[in-house]
Structure 1
């Protein structure tokens, strides 16, 4: 009989852990999970603003800083945009040449060499919608006037707004100095 008793105490072959080890591991996992959940609940109760535990539902996170009233009303200074004509007078063709790299992916400077966009040789002062061999969108093909520096600036600022329906897929150039420099560079070509 002693032999049979020892047989039951030996672990089952092929099972690395006995039932007691599995029970202890499961208990440790559940205990750790309980500690984390209680910690999250306690943290929420302590730090959360706007619950009944804190009284008022209108609490804001942060501090209100009282500022003495001087009686003067401050008006935020709005930067007035300088007219394009004034900026264009001082434009730099050298700086514009650096900006040209953006345009060079769709336009060429050689006379008559169209690409995705029309060639831009002698564009400053040229009639709108006139570039030999280029198929303009209807809006630009029928647009009156010349590409003056002011007109080019308006187009470069927002092509889709200046000429609705244009084929030019460019979001625009916001900086008035950059537009003036680029146009000054194009005027030298």
Structure 2
């Protein structure tokens, strides 16, 4: 390779760089001229999409909330057995602890009463038994029911599913 070929390669690279720089300068100029033509006000990058809340949209507020006791009275333990799969990854029904404490006999059992399981302070400080309504509130949103709990489950939103799952757990005891 001689010096003339090397000079051509370097010149081509410099020429390409110059074309890219001029393109960037032209794009910047066009953008700023477009922004300045709209006046002195500040413009956000993007559009805000306004969304009505559930109450304004006529969503959840139109439906009366059914008390848990009524839903629980009509709950199906058979349907709850299918929902147990979500819990089975961390809990057992054979009396042995896993990531979470065993749940056999949980309905009516005192909070934080399983021997050999290290409960979080949030659950250990709650007194009283696990009534069906208490379990429902807990599995709806564990972090809200007991802030600081070790349970990482995100929650079960459907009240019928919670009632069915609790009916299944109660049928085992």
Same fold (TM over 0.5): yes
Instruction: Supply the distance in 2 between the matched residues of 1:101 and 1:59 (Cα, whole angstroms).
Output: 53
Unaligned segments of structure 2, at least 5 residues: 48-54
Q: Deviations over 1:93-151 (max 9, x none)?
A: 344323322322332112x33334332112223333333x3445355455332212110
- 1:10-49 aligned at under 5 Å gives the runs 17-48=1-32
Q: TM-score, normalised by structure 2?
A: 0.69
Instruction: Supply the distance in 1 between the matched residues of 2:85 and 2:22 (Cα, whole angstroms).
Output: 61
Compared with structure 1, are the counterparts of its residues 42 and 91 closer, same or farther at alpha carbon in structure 2 (3 Å cutoff)? farther
Is the Cα–Cα contact under 8 Å of residues 110 and 130 in structure 2 kept in the other structure? yes
Instruction: Supply the distance in 2 between the matched residues of 1:158 and 1:118 (Cα, whole angstroms).
Output: 18
1:180 aligns with 2:163: yes
Instruction: Supply the distance in 2 between the matched residues of 1:136 and 1:27 (Cα, whole angstroms).
Output: 72
Give the greater-gyration-radius structure (CA). Answer: 1
- 1:149-160 aligned at under 5 Å gives the runs 149-160=132-143
Compared with structure 1, are the counterparts of its residues 186 and 49 closer, same or farther at alpha carbon in structure 2 (3 Å cutoff)? farther
Is the Cα–Cα contact under 8 Å of residues 142 and 155 in structure 2 kept in the other structure? no
The one of 82, 103, 107 equivalent to 1:124 is 107
Compared with structure 1, are the counterparts of its residues 165 and 24 closer, same or farther at alpha carbon in structure 2 (3 Å cutoff)? closer
Alpha-carbon RMSD across the aligned residues, in angstroms, is 3.3
Query: What SS class does the counterpart of residue 188 from structure 1 fall into?
Result: helix
1:75 aligns with 2:61: no
Q: TM-score, normalised by structure 1?
A: 0.65
Compared with structure 1, are the counterparts of its residues 50 and 101 closer, same or farther at alpha carbon in structure 2 (3 Å cutoff)? same
**TM-aligned CA deviation for residue 82 of structure 1:** 3.0
Number of residues of Structure 1 aligned to a counterpart in Structure 2: 159
Unaligned segments of structure 1, at least 5 residues: 1-16, 64-73
- Higher RCO by CA contacts (8 Å cutoff, separation 6 or greater): 2
Structure 1 outlier segments of 4+, above 6 Å: none
Is the Cα–Cα contact under 8 Å of residues 77 and 167 in structure 2 kept in the other structure? yes
Counterpart position of 2:145: 162
Instruction: Supply the distance in 1 between the matched residues of 2:28 and 2:78 (Cα, whole angstroms).
Output: 61
